[in-house]
Structure 1
Amino acid sequence: MNILLHVISAVFGYLVGSLNSAILVSRFYKKDIRNEGSKNAGLTNVLRVLGKKAAIAVLLLDLLKGVITTGLGYILVKDQLSGALVAGIFTVIGHIFPVFFKFKGGKGILISLSVLLMTDWRIALIGLGIFIIIVGLTRYVSLGSITAMFLSPLFAWLLNHEPFFIISMGFLAALTIFMHRSNVKRLLNGTENKLSFNKTGNGEGK
């Protein structure tokens, strides 16, 4: 394992991840998404506050970030999965704790999906399917996100990935679920907001 190349992948991933798409897009609308709705700098809050066009922009930009950083990780570490995983993990960390926005970002679900698409599309599609089913049945975006991430290390193990991959999935799951801790409390209390396409909604999500 080339430590220097992994460090470069991590730094690049963190800096690109710190370019929080939700915050940047909201500034185009002369707002700071962190002061609107649920105050979360993520896709669901953008959808509720700014509408579908803004949400699509955030969706595409966040997916692109994960593709770029994990792709560089592959290139630097000569197609080894570890380089992509390190770059991807730090992209998620940058998204959640962006250095350019006072370390206040989103919750990392969409970025995690893009990382999974680049490292094992099977887990990404299984997780996306679980997310869609749960949100479709309950309209709780947070519950769908948490469940999909919680199960990702299990799927990595079932698909016979090496320990580093499984541990990486476990870390991403733990980090993103921790960022949803307020949602978990509201889910348990029955006060969590459900998905709505009205701009006045103020639930939390990705």
Structure 2
Amino acid sequence: MKLSDENKILIGVTVIGVGALGFFYWKKKQNEALDNTTDVMLESAEPSSQATNPNPQTGASLNRNLLLTKGSKGLEVRELQRLLGVPIDGDFGSITLAALVAQKGVSKISINAFSKKANVKTNVKTKSKIVAKPIAKAARKVLPKVGQKLQAIKDTSLFIAKKGANGKYFGTGDKFFSGGDLKYGDFAGTFVDVNATGNYLVKIFDGFAFVKADAVKPY
């Protein structure tokens, strides 16, 4: 059957329309595929970015038992500097060392040990470490021998001594015979013992008396 020109035109328009619709449908699918590919690429890129630039971790804990000394660095040193009251830079240098020695008397320490160790005692005026000096023993006078005669080397007095219930002699505060006064060179009795105050107990004639140790000498 022979087609008319009108039918040919109608068929041609239909074919062109179908082709256009097919082209637009294909273009839409291409765009959708491209969008999906972009999304996938972005999603895969996010973990890589996080791995390259990790978020800084907060709340780092101190190692309070770490022994710190000159040259140490880090958070523990910063905490030690805070406790010492020195500039905080996290670097254990000469200033930190001097402060530690002055306050605790040591050159190395941990944070835990710092809180337990007592401060060095200092003199308020000099701020220097107090060093206890040995107390010099008082020079002891060589005692006379028991029964050795004593002579007064200056004017002095003898005081009556009485024997107590415990067997030890005590002074009454009263002077011995005739006032008990002695002059230089007088006989002061014979040595018996020495009391807690350093006075000599002497026997003179038939009695006992006390005399100052620095007022007599043996002969």
TM interval, shorter chain, is under 0.3
The structure that has the greater radius of gyration is: 2
Q: Relative to total residues, which structure has the larger strand share, 1 or 2?
A: 2
TM-score normalised by length of structure 2: 0.19
